[in-house]
Chains A and B, each alone.
Chain A
């Protein structure tokens, strides 16, 4: 599958697929393929099966396009659009097998199509949907599936020489996931924990739907100093971090981290000993206190003070319901005592 193919699949009425083993016809009415002359054998998995499945997904996506929605009010239509866009991005990153490709360029046609109704587009996210747009995480592969997708590009790695801010999903390779309806997190029932004050970037002189130079979010929110445990998945409040790394007697973690970049590519020791790690909350569900946030790392170069780069996505550590509520309580207390401040994410 091609990275661009999602875009075309939603737009083109007729596609002739030259697959590895067969020729497949896909139009809005039907799918035909070379392997079909023996209809009773369809259940066997071939390349066309994937196209059948994709067609179904593409239809689902198409039916949710903003033009088909009855706008109830501005806020709800924006949320619906956001969810629709997140699904598109997920599907796009699932298909994108390329390693070094310019992800944003491959999606620019769709972005341009939506731009007239959806406003400002910034490196794969929409200004009107920026808070929820930050709630992506790298898809963690089931160890059983790693073999099937042994392709190196399935593993998230940083995009090299590419002007995309760390808070955009386009800054990494591999498949990403948005937390949405599938995880019972309805945007309608959630509250933003972060205010986006401003987004700055250099005006592009080439493709406005591509990478943007010097892209920076200015936000107001709580910053909780945190540390990562050696497994690089659990996050502890710095004040509660167990002495001598004795995790057995440690307090419950404040959350579970999904690092944006495959940990094999990072200097692990560097991250564990790194003291300048902070957690900031993005959104909290109103019905249960289950905050989602991002893990930030202070930038110490020539950037202005209070500048951070995103390095991971934080979810409640849903081990058992009980643990999750204890840790939520800890987080709540910790955040209540830390003041809201203004900071930049690049």
Chain B
């Protein structure tokens, strides 16, 4: 997360080309609050304020929505537990990035009001272009999957190991190795290649070169 915050800060402070076309906040946003508190649906007064927007795949699971019947309840507060995993993660990410508001389509557009849908869907393009950052849950197939992939809980992805080797010419060299995870064709998980004690394997077996790098 610290890395993401550093990327964002660097971009906001130093990149002259990365400017929001408008920063007008959408009609409704989620006020994420601080850790431990419940997020609330907030009807804005068209102020200018930084906000994050979630880009996600609805998937087939029944998504949490805001309707004319539930809007008042949502404004009172939305318990973290009631949020699907992807939304929970997005709230956590928004907080850690130091941003106060988060826009999620299914919660910020009334899903049963034709009038609201017409008005807000047409503004969707502005929502994304005005967001300080778009949080894109690329790996999640539905709102139940969450943003954080399994890698968050596995080996630290930034750790690479230098393996000292001698190449074919007899000179010393180093091969860097790191755990990778990738999706295989059947959508399952495939944990690539375990580390080997023998550096010669790294050079000799092409499959290891593929899995470890």
A14 touches B128 (CB 8 A): no
Interface hits, B57-85 → A, CB 8 Å: 57-58, 60
B124 proximity list for chain A (CB < 8 A): 7, 108-109, 112
A16 touches B3 (CB 8 A): no
A7 CA to B128 CA, complexed, in Å: 9
Nearest B residue to A210 via CB reads: B121
A287 on the B face (CB < 8 A): no
A14 CA to B18 CA, complexed, in Å: 7
A4 on the B face (CB < 8 A): yes
A22-B55 in contact given A7-B125, A35-B157, A38-B176 (Cβ < 8 Å): no
Tell which of B28-36, B130-138, B195-203 binds the partner. B130-138
Select the residue from B53, B125, B136 with max chain A CB neighbours within 10 A.
B136
- Residue of A14, A46, A112 near B8 (CB, 8 A) is A14
A14-B132 in contact given A21-B151, A209-B121 (Cβ < 8 Å): yes
Tell which of B41-49, B164-172, B180-188 binds the partner. B180-188
B147 on the A face (CB < 8 A): yes
Interface footprint category on B: 35 or more
Distance (Å) between the CB of B186 and the closest chain A CB? 7
Distance (Å) between the CB of B111 and the closest chain A CB? 11
Select the residue from A20, A105, A150 with max chain B CB neighbours within 10 A.
A20
A162 on the B face (CB < 8 A): no
A207-B186 in contact given A25-B4, A37-B160 (Cβ < 8 Å): no
A44 on the B face (CB < 8 A): yes
B153 on the A face (CB < 8 A): no
B149 touches A18 (CB 8 A): yes
- Residue of A1, A16, A113, A148 near B93 (CB, 8 A) is A16
B7 touches A11 (CB 8 A): no
A143 on the B face (CB < 8 A): no
Distance (Å) between the CB of A98 and the closest chain B CB? 7
- Residue of A15, A17, A20 near B182 (CB, 8 A) is A20
A2-B55 in contact given A18-B136, A29-B17 (Cβ < 8 Å): yes
B117 touches A16 (CB 8 A): no
A207 touches B55 (CB 8 A): no
Nearest B residue to A113 via CB reads: B125
Distance (Å) between the CB of A104 and the closest chain B CB? 11
Encode A1-31 as 1/0 by CB contact (under 8 A) with B: 1111101100111111111111101011110
Give the 6 A-B CB pairs with smallest separation, nearest first.
A109-B124, A20-B139, A25-B7, A18-B147, A109-B125, A11-B129
Known: A12-B128, A110-B125, A148-B185. 6 other contacts (CB 8 A): A8-B53, A8-B55, A17-B138, A20-B182, A37-B160, A44-B213
